[in-house]
Amino acid sequence: MRIVILGPPGAGKGTQASRLADHLGIPHIATGDIFRQVAAEETELGRRLRATMDAGELVPDEFTNELVKDRLAKSDASNGFILDGYPRNVDQAAALDEALDDLGTKLSHAIKFMVRGDDIVRRLSGRRICLECGAVYHMETHPPQENEKCDHDGTSLVRREDDMEDTILRRLEVYGEQTRPLYDFYRERGKLVEMDGLGSEEEVFERLLGILGH
Ligand code: AP5
């Protein structure tokens, strides 16, 4: 399966994409995670990415498209993949179609997670992440076993810089302006599946498997 997961910031895309990738045995490719790794480095590129992400703006398309194209050409993605956070606008969606054409394949589903505004803010403000392994927690709905430490490696959990209130608002604006038009793009191509993203992580996962026929 070649799937893109779409939805507003905090909709649960990363949480579900990671579970689905384990379940299907295909890679979870999250542009946000890749960018956060580079942004953590004290290099010129790292500093530029950090400034863009912390402001809630999108990383330039040319750089993003090239990175995804190279990633999709790796052998572990030849039997399928789950893209999370990409594409983010219509130009990226067109670039993805082109990259898949070059690989002689096509997207199977574009799945949209639907979550309301107040749930988005609740999810983002309670989120904590492990910078070491990328694990994602929520202080109410998915807390770590030991206070603010990662269950996998004991690293102290942190709040993402772009989960601060002002940046959340800017991310939602960018989503409305640039990412929403993607729904028509995929609807017109018969790929869009709209899914309720509310409920527990487990409930959402079962719903997702039902849609995919697993
Ligand atoms: P990115 O990391 O992709 O951020 P996003 O799309 O805004 O999505 P999030 O990671 O915030 O949320 P999510 O939907 O994955 O939710 P999660 O599962 O974590 O991008 C960050 C930045 O990178 C962008 O702003 C941009 O600068 C740059 N970037 C990335 N891709 C780009 C691209 N293609 N082009 C240009 N720039 C790009 O869940 C959120 C919280 O809710 C967690 O705490 C989780 O535990 C909790 N939770 C999850 N599910 C449930 C549930 N069912 N019930 C209760 N809580 C839940």
Ligand 1 pocket by Cβ (under 6 Å): 7, 9-15, 31-32, 35, 52-53, 56-59, 64, 85-86, 88, 92, 123, 126-127, 136-138, 141-142, 162, 171, 199-201, 204
> What is the third-level CATH fold of 2-116+179-212?
Rossmann fold (3.40.50)
Give the per-residue pLDDT at 3.
98
pLDDT digits (tens, 9 = 90+) for 85-119: 999 999 999 999 999 999 999 999 999 999 998 99
Active site (catalytic) residues: 13, 88, 127, 160, 171
The overall average pLDDT reported for the chain is 96
Q: What tokens does 35 get?
A: 């960018």
Give the per-residue pLDDT at 15.
95
What is the pTM assigned to this prediction?
0.95
Question: Would you state the torsion angle of the CA atoms of residues 120, 89, 42, 135, taken in this order, to the nearest 10 degrees?
Answer: 40
Radius of gyration for the chain, computed over Cα atoms and rounded to the nearest angstrom: 17
Contact 24, 17 (CB under 8 A): no
Cis peptide before 87 (omega within 30 of 0): yes
Domain boundaries, given as residue ranges, for the chain: 2-116+179-212
